[in-house]
């Protein structure tokens, strides 16, 4: 047998063993701590090792058990950041996608996978009220935001051929996600040309201040190109006023990008609240957040395939498509940033069809309910204080009298729930975010009881 080949018999035994490991892990999720008790020293000692000359064979699968002891498990009691729960049908889809090993550069190199990605893009666009938008899947919201702003720049101040004619200006609220300043820097627009517009008491962009900032830039001879509106800010889930911002973008001739990486899929459960997204030129969302898919699965949606091509098309002859048929001639690399791309769409295709639309809508509605339940429970405890409104599923709060940083450390160390932190109006906040189909009502109540237990133990 040639090197790297394994017999069908051995492969079958290995595959069974790998699936057994996966099944045992899934079955054990709720008994696992919300965060492992581990340290950098421990994980380095366990996992830094030489690559040996001779293979370890089947034994290598046994590593999974110790790896699983030192990962952040996808329990329903992990409430940090915006971490989706990794729905198992999606995980099986990932396995099968890797088995097929498609390179989804274009229809020519991945026929079925390209059509499936187009179908999934259509479902996602329709789910957020943007039927007819096109786009592509990518690594996450950061990649989608970068591609969107690259398109905005090429549409409003073309730079691909001759380089940038500075200064172009982009507008976003003070609460914008860090991926936007990063994109602005990478695109050569410059972070100083990102205007961070003040927010109101509910952490939404102030449209008067936006209008004034655009006027001031025009007066100064700068070139405004784009507004980024956020639907679901990373800290408190605030939703920028879409309609007013869309009106300004239209009257000023600016590109409107919606960063919906965290929040936009709430449109499945709250279509009224999130109406008007289709007035955007582009929109990013993360199926690995509030669509419960295993990492990674970001998505850029837009309604400008021509501009996408103007921005990203730069083809060598060796990838030239040989068909006149538009479906068969289609290439993602002409309309997005990457060439080699994996078959991300298969997990979404399988998971969304396995469960059906209602199951996802209801899971999102339950997350929204859990956030309200936590806010109500906080209100019943006078020693606790809510620090921001709860328009979606992120809840920021604090203990009025104790050291909240010490509380957070204590809560994490106990391992029953995991919270993350944020700063709200200069105050250290405990933050819980619900994007997890495994979370129960009891888990939500545990958040407050854990915070109170740890706070009571402090300074004893």
Interface residues toward ligand PLP, by CB under 6 A:
82, 140-142, 145, 177, 179, 230, 232, 234, 259, 261-262, 286, 298
Beta carbon nearer to ligand PLP, 274 or 407? 274
**Distance in angstroms (rounded) separating the CA atoms of residues 177 and 175:** 7
Q: Report the nearest approach of ligand PLP to the CB of residue 232 (Å).
A: 6
User: Cβ neighbours of residue 66 under 8 Å, at least 6 residues apart?
Assistant: 46
CB-nearer residue toward ligand PLP: 109 or 351: 351
23 CB neighbour count, 10 Å cutoff: 11
**Taking the complex as a whole, how short is the minimal distance between the CB of residue 375 and ligand PLP, in angstroms?**
20
* Nearest residue (CB) to ligand PLP, 102 versus 236: 236
Q: Which of 255/262 has CB closer to ligand PLP?
A: 262
* Beta pairing partners, 224: 169
Distance CA 215, CA 199 (A): 18
**Long-range CB contacts for residues 405-414, cutoff 8 Å, separation at least 24:** 406/454, 406/458, 407/451, 407/454, 407/455, 407/458, 410/454, 410/457, 410/458, 411/450, 411/451, 411/454, 412/34, 412/35, 413/37, 414/450, 414/453, 414/454
User: How do strand 282-286 and strand 427-433 relate by DSSP bridges?
Assistant: unpaired
Least separation in angstroms between residue 93's CB and ligand PLP is 18
C-beta neighbour count of 118 within 10 angstroms: 17
- Say how far apart CA 416 and CA 410 lie, in whole Å: 11
Q: Residue 203: left if φ>0, alpha if ψ -120 to 50, beta else—which one? A: left
**Rounded Cα gap, residues 75 and 446, in angstroms:** 14
Q: Which is nearer to ligand PLP, 193 or 230 (CB)?
A: 230
Inter-residue contact 202 to 360 (CB < 8 Å): no
- List phi, psi (to 5°) of 293: -80, 150
Q: Which residues of 411-422 are buried (b: 16+ CB within 10 A; e: fewer)?
A: bbebbbbbbbeb
Q: How far is the CB of 296 from ligand PLP (least distance, A)?
A: 7
For residue 220, the minimal CB distance to ligand PLP (Å) is: 29
Closest approach, Cβ 138 to ligand PLP, in A, equals: 9
Name the residue nearer to ligand PLP (CB basis): 75 or 142: 142
Give the shortest CB-208-to-ligand PLP separation in angstroms.
23
Residue 146 Cβ vs ligand PLP, minimum distance, rounded to whole Å: 9
Characterise 190 by phi-psi region: left (phi > 0), alpha (psi -120 to 50), beta (else): left
Q: How far is the CB of 153 from ligand PLP (least distance, A)?
A: 18
- Minimum Å gap between C-beta 260 and ligand PLP is 7
Residue nearest to ligand PLP (CB): 140
Q: How are beta strands 134-138 and 298-302 bridged, if at all?
A: antiparallel
Name 2's Cβ contacts closer than 8 Å, sequence gap at least 6. none
The residue (of 110 and 197) whose beta carbon lies closer to ligand PLP is 197
> Closer to ligand PLP at the Cβ: 293 or 311?
293
CA atoms within 13 A on the CB side of 258: 35
* Minimum separation from the CB atom of position 142 to ligand PLP (A): 3
d(CA 259, CA 46): 39
């Amino acid at each position: 047998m040639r090197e790297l080949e394994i017999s069908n018999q051995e492969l079958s035994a290995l595959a069974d063993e790998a699936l057994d490991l996966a099944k045992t892990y899934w079955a054990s999720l709720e008994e696992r701590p919300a965060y492992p008790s581990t340290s950098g020293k421990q994980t380095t000692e366990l996992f830094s090792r030489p690559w040996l000359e001779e293979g370890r064979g089947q034994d290598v699968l046994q590593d999974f058990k110790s790896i699983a002891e030192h990962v952040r498990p996808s329990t329903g009691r992990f409430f940090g950041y915006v971490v989706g729960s990794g729905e198992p049908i999606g995980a099986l889809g990932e396995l099968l996608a890797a088995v097929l090993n498609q390179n989804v550069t274009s229809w020519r190199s991945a026929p079925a996978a390209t059509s499936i990605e187009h179908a999934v893009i259509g479902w996602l666009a329709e789910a957020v009220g943007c039927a007819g938008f096109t786009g592509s899947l990518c690594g996450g919201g950061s990649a989608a935001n970068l591609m969107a702003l690259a398109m905005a720049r090429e549409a409003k101040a073309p730079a691909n051929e001759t380089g940038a004619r500075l200064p172009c200006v982009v507008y976003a609220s003070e609460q914008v996600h860090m991926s936007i300043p990063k994109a602005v820097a990478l695109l050569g627009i410059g972070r100083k040309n990102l205007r961070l517009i003040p927010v109101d008491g509910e952490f939404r962009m102030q449209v008067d201040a936006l209008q004034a900032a655009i006027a001031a830039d025009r007066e100064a001879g700068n070139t405004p190109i784009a507004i980024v509106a956020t639907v679901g800010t990373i800290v408190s889930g605030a939703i920028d006023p879409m309609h007013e911002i869309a009106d300004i973008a239209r009257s000023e001739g600016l590109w409107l990008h919606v960063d919906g990486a965290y929040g936009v899929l709430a449109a499945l459960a709250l279509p009224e609240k999130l109406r008007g997204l289709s007035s955007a030129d582009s929109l990013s969302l993360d199926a690995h957040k509030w669509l419960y898919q295993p990492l990674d699965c970001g998505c850029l949606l837009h309604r400008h395939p021509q501009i996408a091509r103007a921005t990203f098309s730069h083809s060598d002859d060796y990838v030239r498509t040989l068909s006149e048929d538009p479906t068969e001639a289609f290439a993602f690399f002409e309309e997005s940033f990457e060439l080699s791309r994996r078959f991300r769409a298969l997990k979404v295709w399988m998971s969304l069809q396995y469960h059906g639309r209602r199951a996802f809508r209801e899971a999102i509605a339950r997350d929204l309910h859990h956030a309200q339940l936590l806010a109500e429970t906080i209100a019943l405890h006078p020693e606790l204080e809510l620090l921001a409104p709860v328009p979606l599923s992120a809840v920021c709060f604090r203990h009025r009298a104790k050291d909240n940083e010490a509380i957070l450390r204590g809560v994490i160390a106990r391992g029953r729930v995991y919270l993350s932190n944020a700063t709200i109006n200069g105050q250290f906040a405990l933050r819980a975010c619900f994007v997890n189909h495994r979370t129960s009502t009891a888990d939500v109540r545990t958040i407050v009881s854990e915070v109170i237990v740890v706070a009571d133990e402090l300074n004893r």
